[in-house]
Amino acid sequence: MAILAMPVIAFVLWHLLAIVNKKAAWGRKLFKRSIINTTSIVFVWLLIFSLPADASESKCEIWPAWNNFRNKFVSDEGRVVDRSLPQHVTTSEGQSYGLMFALIANDRTSFDLILRWTEDNLANGDLTSQLPAWNWGKRTDGNWGMIDSNAAADADLWIAYALSEAGRLWKVQKYTALAELLTARILREETAEIPGLGLTLLPGPKGFHPDEATWRLNPSYLPIQIMRHFAVIYPNSGWHKIAQTSLEIITRSAPLGFVPEWINYQVGKGFQIDNNPTLAEGGFNAIRVYLWAGMLDSRDPAYPILLTKLAPMGRYLTNNGSLPRKINTLEGAINGSVSAGFSSALLPFLKTHKLNEALHQQRQRVIALSPLDRTDNYYDQVLTLFGLGWLEGRYKFDRNGLLKPRWICAKS
């Protein structure tokens, strides 16, 4: 501000000199020029002060929640560590979310560290040739390394999406190329053409097709906005079909509007609740379905469908004021209380439904429980960064799934 004031002060002195010497010929010319220049500088000054207060500041804005998460859960090498488990595991999910949060925060240094660790340790040094292993940590023999080499499709989606959008926003061709190769591999290795359903995203390459007629699916692995994005940038691929089947899985697996952790699809029978009753409950995984749905752009064709189908969760919160930890998705039976992360995950959903009282109560619950103060709650903090970050306007997704972080608005 002082820099802007200096030329103005100099101009005022020049203007006063013209007035004092108005009678002299050179003074009259100077006075006429000063009148013209006064009009110009007033216009410029008004233009400067008419800009939004945060227009020049938001580009450099710090996201405290991300800095807190990075300091507590991201190692110097770029490994996102879940300290709630004795093995101090790292999952491909954690790495994918770390990439997303770093991108939202415009933190390319952290993004590169997380990407490098992911590629070196979960993909044997080459993400162009294989999907990342989903689980890494301290093994039973005491050594550190891959615990399970199978991949997790939800993490693979978020990694590919983060790379694609990082390539676009930061103009890095390497990220864009890597995203294209990774999405192509997801289509080859983590999808199936299921009779009666269509092209479907499986939870991973192995273990989800127990017999010829059965596939095991996970609704929380299906963020519609990512499929929309891939369908736009890869128009000749199968992502448009996957978006359609993903919406069908979410809606048809929730007969009462409460989404289960897992659902089976059987040829000729359709969707079947898993024989294991705990997998038919909605809880730890399923809470993300409401999170992804809440963050959908209102112009997305899936928006009104999900708004209607998942409305019972909003009604339950409005009527009861508290959030259930587990829901019997067939009977609607509720039990248990939840951690703050579950409340955070529902903030976009409640905002979208315009359930203001429930939104206020859940946000106050997050503030009271202060999940960001702890160091042993990786999943709670992930849900809180997603939910609160969206509610605070730090990012959004448009109708085509493009990421719109706040910092890019400051540059435009």
Q: Where are the alpha helices (DSSP H) in 105-238?
A: 108-122, 153-170, 173-189, 224-233
Structural domain for 33, as ranges: 2-50
Q: How far is CA 324 from the centre of its chain?
A: 24
What are phi and psi for residue 295, nearest 5 degrees?
-95, 0
Regarding whether 68 and 32 lie in a shared domain, the answer is: no
**Is 357 an active-site residue?**
no
Regarding whether 9 and 95 lie in a shared domain, the answer is: no
Amino acid 21: pLDDT? 53
**Is 57 an active-site residue?**
no
Domain tally, the chain: 2
Amino acid 125: pLDDT? 97
The domain spanning residue 310 has which CATH number? 1.50.10.10
Q: Which of 107, 119, 154, 180 is catalytic?
A: 154
Q: Which of 50, 67, 90 is the last residue of a domain?
A: 50
Q: Which of 82, 93, 281, 380 is catalytic?
A: 93
Amino acid 30: pLDDT? 45
Regarding whether 140 and 43 lie in a shared domain, the answer is: no
Regarding whether 62 and 45 lie in a shared domain, the answer is: no
Q: Which residue type sits at 127?
A: L
In tens digits, the chain (412 residues) has pLDDT values of 444 444 444 444 444 445 445 455 544 554 455 444 444 443 333 333 443 333 333 445 789 999 999 999 999 999 999 988 888 999 999 999 999 999 999 999 999 999 999 999 999 999 999 999 999 999 989 999 999 999 999 999 999 999 999 999 999 999 999 999 999 999 999 999 999 999 999 999 999 999 999 999 999 999 999 999 999 999 999 999 999 999 999 999 998 899 999 999 999 999 998 666 555 565 778 999 999 999 999 999 999 999 999 999 999 889 887 776 666 655 555 555 688 999 999 999 999 999 999 999 999 999 999 999 999 999 999 999 999 999 999 999 999 999 999 997 555 4
Regarding whether 213 and 67 lie in a shared domain, the answer is: yes
Amino acid 62: pLDDT? 87
Amino acid 8: pLDDT? 43
Sheet holding 135-138, edge to edge: 90-91, 135-138, 144-148
Q: Which of 50, 75, 90 is the last residue of a domain?
A: 50
Regarding whether 161 and 118 lie in a shared domain, the answer is: yes
Longest CA pairwise span in the chain (Å) = 101
Q: Where are the alpha helices (DSSP H) in 21-146?
A: 25-50, 64-73, 92-104, 108-122
Amino acid 115: pLDDT? 98
Amino acid 2: pLDDT? 44
Amino acid 1: pLDDT? 45
Amino acid 38: pLDDT? 44
